[in-house]
Structure 1
């Protein structure tokens, strides 16, 4: 575990060593007053005369040691905290870079609460280990060991008495660790589940209220919070007795030394100065030992979190090279592509198993450069998954996808992302200005270029009505705007990016009839002269596509133009009839409402 931590520290590893040495000096300064006290007490007990100047110098020495102890302790912790927080920064950056290259399915499966806990809570918990447990734990453990060596040199019999309470304390700690480790897995699983439930409860509050499901939703919330409480209490109840034993006995280093040592002195087995020395040193190491083992008791907890971080950092990334794009053109080729979503589910024995749900089977087709290719089919037929494979959200289990003859796995994610614009049904807007949300399409764009993209996306009519125009805040997840307005901002972002390949996933889903024409005009600005892949349920909108690919239950059953498919493809005929019936129903409803 410590090896992994020092790997995270990187260039700050030496700071951890320096901090440990400085804290070591601090602990030593805390021990020296007991030695100085011995130098005064021993001659007094033996009946020897002690000069006032001798005592005064020892008192001054004690004060100096206490000041130096505080100084070195503060200095050491400042060094360790600087190293700790820089290490946490490096670790979070590593996690962020890892998440960029993970299949989207893994991220979605873990849930927002688990990911938040990983990035924030679990990483923050390492601050205790880096800033305190390493420097303080090591220092508070080494100094008592050195002191025990000195005690054995003075009188090994008295030193053994001083050690008497330690074996029982250590045994109690081992039992506490063993009991705690058995309950740690369920405890953390309940914590992750509670985090996910809380976030789901908050995000779904609007739906819960609309459908009057407060009681059911709250019941799930209450159950997961109660489970977390029960697991936590069960863990602590099992550990508390053993924690109390070692916490009480460990500092009691004189529990046998004082009575038996006095008897040894009376019997002539030991000398009184040696007894006084061992008693003073025994009293001096109680607090360091308690601190050292106190830090050690956090290790299983931290080790569990480090294991979770390691599992995430070692998760297989998307297959991607570091090469730039060197394709011949922007033809998009799917070659015998199959894909299944993978989910983790409890098996018959309670252990997690990977379940697969195949949504694409042996898909082969080519979307020609500069042409419009439409993907149509019933909901759940695999259309959106095909698009997500193209933008490399996932790796196909079988087959390959290439652009201009170059496979996606043979180019870097940066090279791929710079050549594809993806406009989904409801793309995320960040809680910053609308101008900066659009500028995400091309970060080096000027304000004027952003404004031009907004105009082409037909955004100005609603932007001009906002108090601060394009500088208005989007709100959390863009909630200050309507669904159609968010889509137009997404279109402006894609227009600004000006990528040669455009993927539209139901881009007009939130547009009402009045605004759909404006959306179509904005899309025309976006896709002119580009390779276009469209996912659509509204078949009339893609009648003029150069190629229409018909999906049915994860298989591509036909490709061709509208007229060809309407004559030869039963699945397309069914979709077309449903579209016509829907249009007629809307017309009749509109007439009845007049």
Structure 2
């Protein structure tokens, strides 16, 4: 486990080792006063004459040891913390790099709460290992080991007595750890569930309030919080008695030395000076031994968290290469594509060609696989079988950066960062000038609502872009796509927030995005795609038919049903009068 963590220390590994050495010297200095105390006591026991100078030198030596302990221990802590926080930096950067290579869908499945816990809480606890448990634990453990060796050199019988409390204390400690490890999985599962529930509760607050679901939502929130509390208290309740036991027994090395050692002296098996020396030495090992053992309690937890991190890091990354784009054109081919979500296949042998410069619409009922197919094209996931090609080149045979340069993906919900709208649009092409960004905003029909804002395009978007309406956020995302100017455009429900007043403006914005491009559109509004070059009808993850609007109306029953539903919704109206048609 130490080896795994130390991989991330980089150039600060030597700093960690230096911290161990500094703390070891400091703890030795903390034990040395007991030897000087023995040197003062021994002449008294042997009825030898003590001079003031002899005693003062020992007292001065004790003072120096105390000072050196403080200096070396603080220096060791400084070195260990410097190494620890640089290691955390390296670990987070490494994890971020690994995450970028993972399927985006797999990342979304983990949930915001669990990823936040992993990036912040779990990684932060590793600081305890590097800054304290590793250097302090090793140093505090090394000193008792050295002292015990010294005891055996003085009197092996008394040394064995000093060791007697050790197995009893370790037995209590191991019992406590076994109980803790048995409950650890349930404890961390409850913590992760609580984190996800809290994040969901906060994000869904608006829906909860609007639909008066406060009681139900709070009940779930309260239940998960109480579950975490109950697991934590049950864990501690089972561990506390054993914790108290080993804290009482483990540091008392003199527990058997004092009574039995005194008997051995009286019987002549040991001599009084050796007895006093071992007794003084036993008093010096209690504190470092207990401190060393206290860090062992963190090791099972840290090990569990490192394993969790490793599981995330070991998720197979997306298949890609470092090749540039080598396709002959910007046509798109889905070649016998199959895709399974977890264990359930949701796309079955999809074959479809989108010619360069054409507009292809994907239609079908909800859950038919339209959005999944689009996400596979932009490489959110790897296909289970088959291939997706651009101009004949497999999307897995190019880097993600290269693929992203070929495609503008505009989803139903586009995230806006809490930076200015100008900088949000500039994400489409980071080297774009302010003038180019503003031109893209105008082409995306953003001018009207930008004029209403006090700071115009320099207005902050707010958290998640909440300063704007859904349709306004959509037009900002279209401006990004216009600025990016990729040869392939995927519009995944991009008109979801279109309203009658802004329909013409949204259509003009979309026309700017798709002009001269290879376009794949996913839309529920069939009226908006009747002029598409081809329409692909999906049904339960399979291609039901492909053709133009007219061809599908004549020969595809599934499309006829979709069209009839679209026609019905177009005639639908709200009325307060009973008996009205299309009510």
Cα deviation 1:190-218 (Å, max 9, x = unaligned): 11111111111111111111111111111
* Alignment correspondent of 2:70: 70
Whether 1:489 and 2:476 are equivalent positions in the alignment is yes
* Alignment correspondent of 1:362: 349
* Alignment correspondent of 2:417: 430
* Alignment correspondent of 1:353: none
Whether 1:264 and 2:251 are equivalent positions in the alignment is no
Whether 1:227 and 2:214 are equivalent positions in the alignment is no
Whether 1:83 and 2:83 are equivalent positions in the alignment is yes
Q: Work out which of the residue numbers 379, 382, 385 in structure 2 matches 1:398.
A: 385
* Alignment correspondent of 2:61: 61
User: Shift in Å at residue 572 of structure 1?
Assistant: 1.5
* Alignment correspondent of 2:549: 562
Q: 1:334-345 alignment to 2 at 5 Å?
A: 334-342=334-342
User: Shift in Å at residue 592 of structure 1?
Assistant: 11
Whole-angstrom distance in 2 between the partners of 1:482 and 1:278: 78
Whether 1:277 and 2:277 are equivalent positions in the alignment is yes
Question: Which is worse superposed, 59-68 or 154-163?
Answer: 59-68
Q: Work out which of the residue numbers 523, 526, 544 in structure 1 matches 2:531.
A: 544
Whole-angstrom distance in 2 between the partners of 1:163 and 1:448: 79
Whole-angstrom distance in 2 between the partners of 1:245 and 1:109: 44
Cα deviation 1:34-75 (Å, max 9, x = unaligned): 112111121123221222122212222212211111111111
Q: Work out which of the residue numbers 436, 439, 458 in structure 1 matches 2:426.
A: 439
Whole-angstrom distance in 2 between the partners of 1:446 and 1:275: 84
User: Shift in Å at residue 588 of structure 1?
Assistant: 9.1
Whole-angstrom distance in 2 between the partners of 1:41 and 1:440: 77
* Alignment correspondent of 1:22: 22
* Alignment correspondent of 1:216: 216
Q: 1:305-454 alignment to 2 at 5 Å?
A: 305-342=305-342, 356-454=343-441
Whole-angstrom distance in 2 between the partners of 1:243 and 1:40: 37
User: Shift in Å at residue 501 of structure 1?
Assistant: 0.9
C-alpha contact (below 8 Å) 1:257/1:279 kept by paired residues: yes
Paired positions, count: 580
Whether 1:473 and 2:473 are equivalent positions in the alignment is no
Pair 541,440 (structure 1): closer, same or farther in 2 beyond 3 Å: same
Pair 378,424 (structure 1): closer, same or farther in 2 beyond 3 Å: same
Q: Work out which of the residue numbers 510, 521, 526 in structure 1 matches 2:513.
A: 526
Whole-angstrom distance in 1 between the partners of 2:547 and 2:70: 80
Whole-angstrom distance in 1 between the partners of 2:257 and 2:478: 80
Whole-angstrom distance in 2 between the partners of 1:65 and 1:328: 77
Whole-angstrom distance in 2 between the partners of 1:472 and 1:60: 69
User: Shift in Å at residue 466 of structure 1?
Assistant: 1.6
Whole-angstrom distance in 2 between the partners of 1:453 and 1:24: 64
Pair 587,45 (structure 1): closer, same or farther in 2 beyond 3 Å: closer
Q: SS at the partner of 1:339? A: strand
Whole-angstrom distance in 1 between the partners of 2:485 and 2:573: 36
TM-score (norm 2): 0.97
Cα deviation 1:533-591 (Å, max 9, x = unaligned): 110111121112111111111111111112222222222222222222222225999x9
Question: Which is worse superposed, 466-475 or 74-83?
Answer: 466-475
C-alpha contact (below 8 Å) 1:105/1:341 kept by paired residues: no
Q: Work out which of the residue numbers 512, 527, 531 in structure 1 matches 2:499.
A: 512
User: Shift in Å at residue 105 of structure 1?
Assistant: 3.1
Structure 1: gaps (5+ residues): 343-355
Whole-angstrom distance in 1 between the partners of 2:92 and 2:247: 35
Cα deviation 1:245-295 (Å, max 9, x = unaligned): 111111111111122222222222212211121111111110000010000
Q: SS at the partner of 1:8? A: coil
Cα deviation 1:500-525 (Å, max 9, x = unaligned): 11110111111211111111111111
Structure 2: gaps (5+ residues): none
Pair 247,578 (structure 1): closer, same or farther in 2 beyond 3 Å: same
Whole-angstrom distance in 2 between the partners of 1:232 and 1:567: 65
Q: 1:135-146 alignment to 2 at 5 Å?
A: 135-146=135-146
Whole-angstrom distance in 2 between the partners of 1:464 and 1:504: 26
TM-score (norm 1): 0.95
- Segments of 4+ in structure 1 off by > 6 A? none
C-alpha contact (below 8 Å) 1:382/1:554 kept by paired residues: yes
User: Shift in Å at residue 154 of structure 1?
Assistant: 0.5
Question: Which is worse superposed, 9-18 or 79-88?
Answer: 9-18
C-alpha contact (below 8 Å) 1:491/1:522 kept by paired residues: yes
* Alignment correspondent of 2:45: 45
Whether 1:98 and 2:98 are equivalent positions in the alignment is yes
* Alignment correspondent of 1:573: 560
* Alignment correspondent of 2:195: 195
